[in-house]
Structure 1
């Protein structure tokens, strides 16, 4: 059995109606099947700095750790500078081990939601996404570009809850399928 650890923020927690859910964990478990065990140690609101404080929760026996940070890191009021984001990603990779990782880039907030977009700019999101992509490439870690996969979806608001940041069932389905594809590509040769 392959042991998969999801390690990220509220996106991996399937955040809905002000509560974490098991939507992402259960959705991935269903797609991946009985030969996989999906464990989720994500923390809503977390940045990479928070992830570093929670490294002890990463199971040493995990065959794969799917790292999903960056959206909160890129926020203008509660985030961290991009150079610290890069340093934190490097520290997480060193601690976990590049050979057993997938990196998910920052999410793309609903561009039609002015409430959430006051905390993000396209320039900032592009910068943090590039940081994650570059760090992943330096370590030969598969990278999932959420921004590229969400940015051009038709009727984009239908993929987001009213807060503009967390996904609806439709958005979570896209996320789950992207992550499942990356896991299968990495572990099933």
Structure 2
């Protein structure tokens, strides 16, 4: 039995109706029934907040799944790209080959209200930085931009254009499973 820690933002908290739910945690648990899933994610968090509570990650965990980048990349409330890269490296460094790293998730590209905060070039830049961090520490990388690029927006996103429906949460978890298996099932 492996202890898998989920460490990210509202996507891992399957945020809906203005509150966190345990849907994503349950989906990971169903996909990895012989492992223990602990979700320490914080809705609204950037890597800056992640650093503030990284000490909550149990030292004896077998794997940490880092899901940051969407809030970091937002033009109104996010961080500078350099700061994001530095923060992400600080988070991943203690775990290295026991970490899975993801970049930002693609918001609903048909929702102009939310997309005004997520220019494609900025999302691409943050995605590239997350991939570089994963490569630096020899950690598997999950490209959420690619995973959601062909998803049907009306089935995948809630009305806010950023948080996921049940179907979207299934896509999210499915995107991470190969990387988790790469570390734990070798």
TM-score category, normalised to shorter length: over 0.9
Q: What per-residue deviation string (whole Å, max 9, x for no partner) do you get for residues 71-114 of structure 1?
A: 000000100000000000111122x3202100011100001001
The 5 Å alignment of 1:5-154 reads 5-33=5-33, 35-94=34-93, 96-153=94-151
The 5 Å alignment of 1:154-165 reads 155-165=152-162
Unaligned stretches of 5+ in structure 2?
Answer: none
Q: What per-residue deviation string (whole Å, max 9, x for no partner) do you get for residues 25-75 of structure 1?
A: 011001111x20000000000000000000111011110000000000000
SS of residue matched to 1:175: helix
Displacement of 1:157: 2.8
CA contact (8 A) 2:12 2:41 kept: yes
Residue 169 in structure 1 maps to residue 166 in structure 2: yes
Distance 1:164 1:45 in 2: 15
Displacement of 1:145: 0.3
How many pairs are equivalent? 186
Unaligned stretches of 5+ in structure 1?
Answer: none
TM-score, normalised on structure 2?
0.97
Segments of 4+ moved more than 2 angstroms? none
After superposing the two structures, state which structure 1 stretch, 159-168 or 178-187, moved more. 178-187
TM-score, normalised on structure 1?
0.96
